[in-house]
Structure 1
Amino acid sequence: MSRIYTQVFYVLLFVCAIHSAVQAQSITVSGTVKDRQSKEGLAGVSLIIKGQSGGTASAANGSFSFSTTAKLPFTLVASYVGYGSVEQQITSNTSGIILELETVVVLGGDVVVSASRTPERILESPVSIERMSAASIRDIAAPSFYDALNNMKGVESSMQSLTFKSINTRGFNSNGNTRFNQYIDGMDNQAPGLNFSVGNIVGITELDIDNVELLPGASSALYGAGGINGTLLMTSKDPFKYQGPSFQFKTGINHVNDDNSSVQQFNQLDVRVAKSWNNKFGVKAAFSFLQAKDWIGNNFSNFDRNSRTAKSGDRNSDTNYDGINSYGDEVSQNMRNVALSVQNATIAGINAGSGGAIPNIKALMDGAFGAAIPNTVQQAGFLAGLPAALRPAVQNYLPFYVGLKANLIPDQNVSRTGYNEESLVDYNTKSLKASGAVYYNFTNTIQAVAQANWGTGTSVYTGSDRYSLRNFNIGQYKVELKGQDFYLKGYTTQERSGDSYISSILGSYINEVSKPSTTWFPQYIGNYVGARAAGQTDAAAHVLARGVANQGRLIPGTPQFENAKNAILNNTISSTAINAQDPTKSVYGAKFDDKSNLYHYEGMYNFTNAFNNVVEFQVGASYRLYDLNSAGTIFNDLYESIDIDEYGAFAQIGKKLFNDKVKITFAGRYDKSQNFEGRFTPRITGVFTVAKNNNIRASYQTGYRNPTTQNQYIDLSVGGGSQRLIGGLPEIIFGKYKLDTNRPFTDVSYRAFLASAATGTPNPALLQQYTLDSRGVRPESVQSYELGYKGLIMPNLLIDAYGYYNIYKDFITAVDVYQNVGTPASPTFVKFGIPVNATGEVTSYGAALGLDYLINKWTMSGNLSYNQIGDLPVNYINDFNTPKIRFNLGLGNREIIKNFGFNVNYRWQDKFYWNSSFASGDVPAYSSLDAQVSLQIPSVKSSIKLGGSNVMNKYYITSYGNPAAGAIYYIAYSFNP
């Protein structure tokens, strides 16, 4: 990495030398920018030289002044959010210019970059694209711009906590969405150890966001691996265009009418400062801090870990109860198996204790009692005849002997008593984001940028478990040299897990500290037998048995519970070493130790100007290194280091034909990862102008994504230790766990085997082996066909519509298998979750329609999205996780009366079934209304906003197993926003 940064440094020095040699005489331009109606000065107006980088911004009273070496004459462009731009030709040193801007909103006038990696009007984009401008961000009714992404056409999200939301388009939604890419100022915002973005917890601050562009569907031809369902690009504000100080303070409440919590306050402070000098040097810094009480997971539905589906019953009615948001109750054992285990251990112990004089205590007791079930008097008489040293062991064994002989012990599972999520997870949500950047313009078209983004926070994320992300942090650091036709950049992402931990592991280990399972289960069964032998009903016996076994259980809120919890949280998962001889000295840990890094280097050159705009032609290349470091707490890296190299290159050529009525573009990219074969992803797009500002677009796009770093190398115990997630590379599944020589059994056949055991003697013939692909897990790919139309039916009505059809191959899914690590006569099964590729094709299709209408200062909008899964391979687990129908309606006016505006947005989506490695179940249909009213105070460059999300306070979930969200009501004061 240091070598590449050194090379970049030398390039900067070289460009500086060239600049010094050719530097021309500078001129000064100054003046004032005003509102055309009020004649008041406008602060923060962007003033740039047309076609060149750099510029300045107006001061508090609207005045501006800058020096430049640009060749005369040139055009000065003044632009401001919510106003039409104004141009002024400059021929010499100029002072006293008066530029007057008029408020205006123009549909279809936005310029986008991400669709083709080159600026173009959104009306002429060759693929579907959504854009959120600085003006619309300022007027949103949602608590943040990231929350407002749901209002875009075709966008959905999975909310795992207050600040952790995963964005998605076009189906196959998930809690941590690895099929959707997110970029901030050209930097991939993923956490290297997770391979997906952690929402916007560690991201861009609201005062520093300039615009958001979203590409639904595949985009690998331009952006490389990943993003086969969508790509989100966020761009921060340039200090040459947005200058001066600004801040915003927002305060509000949530948990209104929440059965799990009293009303809670949240606060958020955003600050931004930017300054530039002489169109040469610019700096900016931004800061944001949010503090709140998170939504509470309270889905205590009974859950079947084998099928990952809900089942009937609760803790009172089901002895094997396992609540979705209850942890520690994942630990479960079969009552008869425990009894047999105690019996065998007692036989072996007494044999050793008697020096071989009593080789089999069970046989001795059978001889003494015959076929009869011994009563308490007979049991006491038998004990009296034994040596005193052996009596305690036999006395402990007697309930199991009686229970097995009298068939009082049912062949059913019993689970330990778990702890509710609220007692284990840190709900004290925090998010601190800080960023800074330095800009230097070598020439009017060449700029260097050094940028740092860092954030830390506490939140909750749902994967195969509920993970409490506590005090984790991510830093991104970039250097970039860019010009009108090129850029070179290198950046690194540094992920640190802080004090993050797994909630189910924590719950299980608190149980173990209070009473080891090796003691708890025998106590439960022994007391159950005693109660049944005394004539109690099965239900009453279970209640008594659990009460006795739970004696000494640590109670949430007590010092003993908190001490045990903190001790476990101070140890990592990999440090856990259970000492079977002395459980009291066992070490338990639930904490991650992830310090994974990503290093990325990329460059692009646009030859369009060199070819005199006859054709558009771009080439680019990139190199990426994943450096995984989890000390064995996530990956298989306890005793070895893991690095993954990836590289790729792309080219794109476009040409306008038939008097510029048609534009055809071809693009292609080749990518290679060290663990997989190289992939070529082509893209063909066409735009046909049927009338002015009316275009039909068609595209064929391909995309692919490599298995994630966890798909490749994970080695993690989840579900309270009931399952192990392992990577799908041959070195893991075959080399470490020998799943080729000791082949596992399918999930379906294992459950059939358990069912046969419940009715009598288990039938091993029901077990069917599962054969894993010798190649291991491989990249998945998609072919996407799209036809769309975007146009202005009239100057104030914009229509955007599209339909798509996707074909996925080698779709990465997961399979649960069971490996027998015991013997055929005495099997012991270990459950593995393994990423695999689905055989055959998975198809999906859908359509969307969006309308935007302006009349005077009123804005009305609406969009409708339809998504559906098509063909599925046999035995494929359907995780489309997407409602068929969803729609948004919006209404707003920035100034319904002088300085007073409002905005409302209504959202509805249909019910659907959610399937994930954590839990599966129905997500009911829901609706939500966001609203805000705002007051502008121009005299002090301030505004006040009063608003709320889900203002009707109808609690809803977006994905099964995650907490329900209610209303958030807030008031915000902004200065110079």
Structure 2
Amino acid sequence: MLKKQLLVIVFTLSAVVNFAQVKINGVVYNEYLEPFYGAKVVSGSETTASNDNGEFTITVNGSLPQTITVSAFGHQSEIVEITRVGQKVNVILKENLLLDQVVISASRVPERIIESPVTIERFGLTDIRKTSANSFYDGLVNLKGVQSRETGYGFKSLNTKGFSDFANSRFVQMVDGMDTAAPALNFSAGNLSGVSDLDINNVEILPGASSALYGANAYNGVLLMNTKSPFDFTGISTLFKSGVTNQELAGTNWFYDLSGRMAYKFSDAFAAKVNFSYFEAHEWLANDTRNKLIDTGEITDGTIDNRLNYDGINTYGDEFNNSISIQNIGVNFFNVLLPQDARVYRTGISERDLLVDEKAKNLKFSASFHYRPFEDERLELIFATRLARGNNLLQGNASRFAQRNYSFGQSKLEVRGENFYVRAYHTRNDAGDTYNLNATGAALTARTQATNLVGNWGVDYLIGLSDNGIDWNNLTADFSILQAARAYADSFTIQPGTPEFREAFEDVRSTLITEGGSRIYDKSSYIHADGNYNFRSLLNDWADVQIGGSFRQYNPDSRGTIFNDATQTIRVEEYGVYSQIQKKFLDERLKLTASVRYDKSQNFDGNYSPRFAVNYALGADKNHIVRASYQTGFRNPTIQEQYLFNQPGRKINLGTSWDNLNSLDVQGITGDDVLNNSLLTRTVFPDDTNYQGPRYQKSTYEAIVPEEVKTIELGYRSMFPITDTNNISIDVNGFYSIHNDFVFFQDILTPTAGQVLPFGNTPVTAAQLADPNVANGFIDPDTNILVLDAQALNSNLQEFNIVTNSKSIVNSYGASIAINTKLFSRFDLGLSYDYIDFSFDDKDLGLFDPNFNTPNHTFKAQLGNENLFKNVGFNVNARWLDKYRWVSTFVKGDVDARTVIDAQVNYRIPALKSRIKIGGTNLFGDEYFVAPGTGQIGQTYYISWTIND
């Protein structure tokens, strides 16, 4: 009897133990009943993920019934009840509506998009897989409010809220928390140093001022690219892509794109991954022959044969020779007095003749090692490194650059837990063999053949005019004479395509710009550290209370080719601290967010950036949310804007931080002279029709300070059903911003120390020149009034192009709406419309032209179906951009309206865990450029094969 009782007890205990630890097997599928890889499965403290076949195994602890939760980014979580041993579990994960997806960047805490206190855009794994663009980064342009700036095939930069050119230092881009801004440029080179298509997990974009959480330069917005964790996404993935680009100028050319990713989870404590990618493609070539000297709202047409003052947009060397005084040459060599506005520009060299290679190339490599000492997400240590190298074309503020063999690298050490992170990283770049196209053209056009006895292009030009019988009183009466004179002067210059030209070209581009060549030296770097802590768990979930801070030290090194560091070392340090509190009230319908940040740079006063936001949820399901926010942003002047010092032509480009001005000594001119004893150039030589003021106007511009913006935003987001199986989401917002201290370039003339006027022995000062009695001419013998000769005066003045702040206050405003739903319950449909504009009260005498560079109206549409037929899907993106005006110091002009259509069809091969995609960009569209001077963007047709994505 006792034995029987013991047996019963043993079997009962065994059953209880076995029942208390039940292993559950299951399979996760997507909406198309394909295996779902990487889904997270949770039961209590146990966590696992589905494998390549969607399969998972997890242990359920405790007595049944129990529940497990299956989730994945961008998909609705599913809760499954386990009621018996051996229960078969099949889970189908459905995509979230866009507004139901979770983001982190808006508040640095997880929250649904619909609950975000500010406007936010998200591009998740599903969007990346569906995009019809050539890459995930190209696909971001289809998001509401996002614009792309493309200088070539490889270089693309993104922006929101307007006011940017290609040197977009007002928009921050980050990869896994690291700012990807190049140390010398202080702006990101797009995705040239970013993430491969195989490793990107999701992208979050905060349009507008975000300095309260992200500090300096988060002025127009922040883009955060987050990569895949090797703990969650393991295995080997590959991407093979090829196709052709088509452009009228460059023709039809093949391109190649290859990526690979290897990730391995060695244990629950350690995982690692490696990525590489490489592309090679023909550049979108630029050949804009219009005359950029003429700006009447748009760049008017002109050719070199019918103008004295012709400066072609994509010709180089002509713009550096407008100091040729045809008046002086006429008097000294031909005894004729030519009109003051008769200025001649010499013949330049086309861009194609200055390119050693017409291909864009980009190689990226990254690796990271992840260690979890507690074998879960409570604590993780990460070491990561990223490297990039390649060739591309870049359009800067004052020139275009051929970047050759450039490199960029970052290394990071990060410790993060459930409530905090601390990271430090080092960023460095090497310009390699990069050269300035303007400086290259200037150096080459200055070289003449040995047969040229005169040695001066301007003299040769007037000899050509004289020999062909020019009417000196009407220089433009006969264009054929102008053509003949130019041909005569050009006959003594070295010509593209000749051995002599090639030898000179190689010499110029390999010689530093400070030594008479055009090569840029840049081995700048910076170190950065930041951290954040959330006190929520310590406050028993009463509220999210965060504190954080950051530190950065810039170490520019250009050997004087960019910065004023030829004979001195420059170091710039800045730091910031911030705090935020976020709490919900009234049954969690009302959410209040308040943030404040203090930032200090060593060259500027400290800056406070507050942010306040309120959300209120309406409806029984809390899916109708209204919001209002007040945000601030600021931008510290870049290292270039602070320490710029170079002289590519007759002008000296000068940054105006006091640290830079105090070291200035050019022909006896000091920094104090630049600010307090200078004239506005346009008031001495009035060749700008926008100028509105008297002659010889004294400059009152000051040393540079940070830009500031204050924004009020109102918004509404809603999700509601339209049928039993279909929902619709709506996102509407409007904003109004006030901008102060916009940074811009201003031309000034400063009298050189010790120089005297031709009619006396007293050095001229800007105050004397600003006297209302001063006008153009000589001393009037009848009135004995001092009257200056502008041409003689020019020899006593040094021209500077200074970086300073506008006195005008700029206002910008706009509104947008986005609608997402399913059409016929099968087709994904997305529509968005953006309106944005600006105005300003001119306080700069017509000399400040804001670089808004954004269309007033933009419409975007998306239509797709991931499972149109079995294993076959498609996606189409279309966008229409209104005509807009482009403003930069390089060129000004209108950009035509355009319609761009991208499309792709894909075929999934489940047995091979792969996807084949065939697509094209700018289908059926005309070639277009995003700014004058950039390459015309044509069509791209591609086929790709992705394995294990």
Specify the TM-score bucket, using the shorter chain as the normaliser: 0.7 to 0.9
Of 143, 155, 159, the match for 2:146: 155
Whether contact under 8 Å (2:327, 2:342) holds in the other structure is no
**What are structure 1's unaligned runs of at least 5 residues?**
1-26, 344-399, 577-587, 756-763
SS at match of 1:449: strand
- Structure whose residues are more often helix by fraction: 1
Cα distance in structure 2, aligned partners of 1:570 and 1:200: 27
Map of 1:551 onto structure 2: 491
Map of 1:872 onto structure 2: 841
Map of 1:211 onto structure 2: 202
Map of 2:686 onto structure 1: 752
Tell me the alpha carbon deviations over residues 109-144 of structure 1, each in whole angstroms, 9 at most, x when there is no partner: 210000000101111101100000011101001111
Whether contact under 8 Å (2:715, 2:731) holds in the other structure is yes
Amino acid paired to 1:782 = V
Map of 2:186 onto structure 1: 195
Map of 2:507 onto structure 1: 567
Q: Does 1:693 align with 2:687?
A: no
Cα distance in structure 2, aligned partners of 1:750 and 1:869: 30
Q: Does 1:33 align with 2:27?
A: yes
Cα distance in structure 2, aligned partners of 1:28 and 1:339: 98
Cα distance in structure 2, aligned partners of 1:702 and 1:36: 42
Cα distance in structure 1, aligned partners of 2:141 and 2:539: 41
Map of 1:894 onto structure 2: 866
Tell me the alpha carbon deviations over residues 149-169 of structure 1, each in whole angstroms, 9 at most, x when there is no partner: 111111112211112122111
Q: Does 1:246 align with 2:237?
A: yes
Q: Does 1:641 align with 2:641?
A: no
Cα distance in structure 1, aligned partners of 2:747 and 2:605: 26
SS at match of 1:413: coil
Amino acid paired to 1:497 = A
Q: Does 1:772 align with 2:705?
A: no
Map of 1:436 onto structure 2: 367
Question: Measured at CA, do residues 41 and 130 of structure 1 come closer, stay the same or move farther in structure 2, by a change above 3 Å?
Answer: closer
Tell me the alpha carbon deviations over residues 867-901 of structure 1, each in whole angstroms, 9 at most, x when there is no partner: 01033332332322211110101101000111111
Report how many residues are paired.
Answer: 860
Map of 2:387 onto structure 1: 454
Cα distance in structure 2, aligned partners of 1:619 and 1:836: 34
CA RMSD of aligned residues (A): 3.1
Amino acid paired to 2:853 = N
Q: How do residues 315-714 of structure 1 correspond to structure 2 at under 5 angstroms? A: 315-330=304-319, 331-339=321-329, 343=332, 400=333, 403-404=334-335, 406-407=336-337, 412-425=342-355, 426-443=357-374, 444=376, 445-463=378-396, 464-515=398-449, 518-532=455-469, 539-574=479-514, 576=515, 588-691=516-619, 692-714=622-644
Instruction: Pick which of 813-822 and 851-860 moved more.
Output: 813-822
Cα distance in structure 2, aligned partners of 1:181 and 1:109: 25
Of 271, 274, 277, the match for 2:266: 277
SS at match of 1:532: coil
Whether contact under 8 Å (1:55, 1:240) holds in the other structure is no
Whether contact under 8 Å (2:40, 2:72) holds in the other structure is no
Amino acid paired to 2:741 = D
Amino acid paired to 1:767 = Y
Amino acid paired to 2:38 = V
Cα distance in structure 2, aligned partners of 1:952 and 1:569: 39
SS at match of 2:840: coil
Whether contact under 8 Å (2:24, 2:58) holds in the other structure is yes
**TM-score, normalised with respect to structure 1:** 0.83
Whether contact under 8 Å (2:858, 2:880) holds in the other structure is yes
Tell me the alpha carbon deviations over residues 52-77 of structure 1, each in whole angstroms, 9 at most, x when there is no partner: 8x96654444455799999x999865
Map of 1:45 onto structure 2: 38
1:928 is displaced (CA, Å) by 0.6
Map of 1:792 onto structure 2: 719
Amino acid paired to 1:836 = T
Whether contact under 8 Å (1:744, 1:817) holds in the other structure is yes
Question: Measured at CA, do residues 90 and 488 of structure 1 come closer, stay the same or move farther in structure 2, by a change above 3 Å?
Answer: farther
1:811 is displaced (CA, Å) by 1.9
Cα distance in structure 1, aligned partners of 2:900 and 2:160: 19
1:513 is displaced (CA, Å) by 3.0
Q: Does 1:738 align with 2:670?
A: yes
Whether contact under 8 Å (1:500, 1:591) holds in the other structure is yes
Cα distance in structure 1, aligned partners of 2:194 and 2:843: 40
Whether contact under 8 Å (2:60, 2:66) holds in the other structure is no
Amino acid paired to 2:213 = L
Q: Does 1:166 align with 2:138?
A: no
Of 217, 221, 225, the match for 1:226: 217
1:618 is displaced (CA, Å) by 0.6
Cα distance in structure 2, aligned partners of 1:687 and 1:560: 69
**TM-score, normalised with respect to structure 2:** 0.85
Cα distance in structure 1, aligned partners of 2:387 and 2:67: 38
Question: Measured at CA, do residues 920 and 69 of structure 1 come closer, stay the same or move farther in structure 2, by a change above 3 Å?
Answer: farther
Whether contact under 8 Å (2:330, 2:462) holds in the other structure is no
Tell me the alpha carbon deviations over residues 938-963 of structure 1, each in whole angstroms, 9 at most, x when there is no partner: 01111111111111131112223222
Q: Does 1:824 align with 2:757?
A: yes
Whether contact under 8 Å (1:467, 1:503) holds in the other structure is yes
Of 796, 799, 803, the match for 1:835: 803
Map of 2:128 onto structure 1: 137
Cα distance in structure 2, aligned partners of 1:205 and 1:529: 62
Cα distance in structure 1, aligned partners of 2:733 and 2:688: 49
Of 831, 834, 842, the match for 1:862: 831
SS at match of 2:216: coil
Amino acid paired to 2:698 = Q
Tell me the alpha carbon deviations over residues 330-365 of structure 1, each in whole angstroms, 9 at most, x when there is no partner: 122445445279x4xxxxxxxxxxxxxxxxxxxxxx
Tell me the alpha carbon deviations over residues 218-262 of structure 1, each in whole angstroms, 9 at most, x when there is no partner: 11000111111111111000111111111111111112xx33122
Map of 2:900 onto structure 1: 928
Tell me the alpha carbon deviations over residues 197-237 of structure 1, each in whole angstroms, 9 at most, x when there is no partner: 00111111111000000001111000111111111111000
1:194 is displaced (CA, Å) by 0.8
Whether contact under 8 Å (1:66, 1:278) holds in the other structure is no
1:526 is displaced (CA, Å) by 2.9
Question: Measured at CA, do residues 513 and 437 of structure 1 come closer, stay the same or move farther in structure 2, by a change above 3 Å?
Answer: same
Tell me the alpha carbon deviations over residues 384-429 of structure 1, each in whole angstroms, 9 at most, x when there is no partner: xxxxxxxxxxxxxxxx1xx21x558986222221111111134310
SS at match of 1:148: helix
Whether contact under 8 Å (1:66, 1:277) holds in the other structure is no
Amino acid paired to 1:547 = A
**What are structure 2's unaligned runs of at least 5 residues?**
1-20, 759-791
Map of 2:789 onto structure 1: none
Whether contact under 8 Å (1:846, 1:867) holds in the other structure is yes
Question: Measured at CA, do residues 783 and 766 of structure 1 come closer, stay the same or move farther in structure 2, by a change above 3 Å?
Answer: closer
Question: Measured at CA, do residues 305 and 195 of structure 1 come closer, stay the same or move farther in structure 2, by a change above 3 Å?
Answer: farther
Q: Does 1:882 align with 2:873?
A: no
